[in-house]
Amino acid sequence: MNNHIFVETDDTLNLIQMNIDINKRAADNIRILSMAMVEKSKSGHPGGAMGGADYIHVLFSEFLNFDPNDPAWINRDRFFLDPGHMSPMLYSILTLTGRFTTEELKNFRQWGSSTPGHPELDVLKGIENTSGPLGQGHTMAVGAAIAERFLASRFGELFAHKIFTYISDGGVQEEISQGAGRLAGFLGLNNLIMFYDSNDIQLSTETKAVTIEDTAMKYTAWGWNVIKIDGNDQKQIREALTSAMGQKHKPTIIIGKTIMGKGLLDNEGNSFERKTSTHGMPVSEAGGSFEKSLVNLGGSLSDPFQIFPEVSEHYRKVLQSKQKTSSDWKNAKSEWAEKNGQLDKKLHSFYSGEIPAIDFKSIPQKEGSATRAASAAVLGVLAKNVENMVVASADLSNSDKTDGFLKNTHAFINGDFTGAFLQTGVSELTMAAIMNGMALHGGIIPACATFFVFSDYMKPAVRLACLMQLPVKYIWTHDAFRVGEDGPTHQPVEQEAQLRLMEHLKNHHGDNSMLVLRPADSNETTVAWKMALENKKTPTALILSRQNIKDLPSENSNRYADALQSERGAYVVQDCKGRPDIILIASGSEVSTLFEGAQLLEKDNLKIRLVSAPSEGLFRNQPESYKKSVLPDDVPIFGLTAGLSVTLQGLVGPKGVVWGMNSFGYSAPYKILDEKLGFTADNVYKRVKEYLAG
């Protein structure tokens, strides 16, 4: 326990420290706040936060560059937390740096609180990423580090800064760490510094119950600079960070052996450190003594949320220093801008998210193209005109047709980030999380691609992108059973229904959490890309065909102008005179199949309306009058989908009929599958006639 002498002079109460290490005192203050938050809320994870307090204090007070008055300063160092359950540690240090108040800490995990159980993106509060699903936070940091190198290669080393991240035992165990570690080492991201909080304890066991790996050897094999330290020794922390800051060729992992629940005592006053129970419950419920631990750490029983006066004063000086550093940089940037007016204008456009004017209607498209090929044509134009767009592919660029972009740039390699393409290898989840990190960093428009069936690998990162409202673009090709001979392992069926649910799910701003587009032909694909780039509020998915698709008809001989109606989610492609006898609706390549079926039905004097619905979510957001003009209540509706029938159920309504896939696919040429599975004009004719007769 630390001792203090209080001396009262005039109207000011001053604290005179005797033999007190202010840095230890600050770390203990973080421990107390972390423990108190969890204790008051009766929920949370105190142990890890208490063990990480020394590192987080040294990092934020001595190494992390930020502007106390400008949290969104573009050249700030970024800190990405991976173990979101250690939010008490992050909220505590951000309280010391002025981003949170102790009243906010007291509302930890409560309704409407700014301190939720796991941190949620809020740059103005100092939170660079939403974290919780282990492994994703540090992988986002890899994306941010790539973004920093991309931007520095274009604007100069004045814009260089560091990306710090913090990982736990659980994050190291998550499979995504393989992809993140491999890529960061391969690319030589020397701007990336990761602290591994190795306390040998996870939620239900000690780590020795599940692993014997040598993590240092693993990261060494991936090309990282590896430093091992006592993670509670601030001198060693300082030395390790200083060394890492000077690293020129490799990312650095600092493996810090820390003490879970450092400073905890039990009811008898004995040490209660290194206990698994303190990982995920309040100290008093875990078997320790909150009160004795509080006193042991130098806290006040009457006010466990107190910021010690000497710590407050210390951080006041820290913030003054940070302010001076950022001001000096901004002065240097102003001088740079005077000499580099065009570059400065470009820099502003990059960070503002501005999209240059692109004449989408003039992008040439081959008649009857697969929509993945149509996407490639657009990507070729974007590569030449959207200078801050970065595209990634998971070892499929020649199949997902992102090579349309790659042919106009080159891939990132160690030491060269002048290109704009990331070959991630076979690591879809890693790729998706890296794209999130790029978007979080700012200045970049990220897009990534793979086969649609492998979107399953990406879902955890896609979900976080939706939650964080990141404008990542997903290019998912080979959209249905028409993948053909590769068989059911590669043929998406249920995937579209899963993605459409994200259109139903609202984000915290009340918007559809995702824009999902499945274009019906090449012109709709061009429009889909236009919509994707204009959508800066949420992620966008483009679901594209492997096989060629016949272009849809245009009564005005201007298919692009017709396709612009996709911006309303669904629209009438072809109509009849008067009230239709039936409405045919689909998305993607099934729209052209319906068109062929409609021609057969019209021979029987049936009045047909054909509707393309690339985005159910957008359509649902339209005024009721528009929705009824496209899909009136009193007309039968027939839907066709290569996904689960439920995919279109919401559009055809309770009385409508959907012909869809309700089983896995089969291995065969896709035209054979069309015949066998009933995706032909003849079967459309047959099913519609049966429906109307019933």
Which distant-in-sequence residues (6+ apart) come within 8 Å of 25 by Cβ?
Answer: 2, 17, 298, 308, 310, 311
Query: Residues 370, 372, 378, CA angle at the centre, nearest 5°?
Result: 110
Q: What is the CA radius of gyration of the chain?
A: 29
CA gap 209, 205 in Å, rounded: 6
Q: Which ranges of 77-231 would DSSP assign to H, the alpha helix?
A: 87-96, 102-106, 136-155, 169-173, 176-187, 215-221
CA distances to 21, 497, 601, 641 from 584, in Å: 75, 19, 11, 11
19: left (phi over 0), alpha (psi -120 to 50) or beta: left
Q: Does 428 qualify as catalytic in the annotation?
A: yes
Location of structure tokens 């109207």: 11
**For helices 371-385 and 522-534, what crossing angle results, to 10°?**
40
Question: φ, ψ for residue 627 (rounded to 5)?
Answer: -60, -40
Please say whether the beta carbons of 405 and 449 come within 8 A. no
CA 61 to chain centre: 28
Pairing status of strand 515-517 against strand 12-17 = unpaired
Strand partners, 506: 512
Please say whether the beta carbons of 22 and 4 come within 8 A. no
Q: Which two tokens stand for residue 394?
A: 């998971």
Catalytic residue among 104, 120, 428, 496: 428
CA gap 435, 143 in Å, rounded: 6
Which distant-in-sequence residues (6+ apart) come within 8 Å of 275 by Cβ?
Answer: 47, 201, 260, 261, 264, 286, 287, 288
CA gap 159, 494 in Å, rounded: 44
Please give the single-letter amino acid code of residue 247. Q
CA gap 585, 570 in Å, rounded: 9
Q: Which two tokens stand for residue 104?
A: 């906010």
Catalytic residues: 428
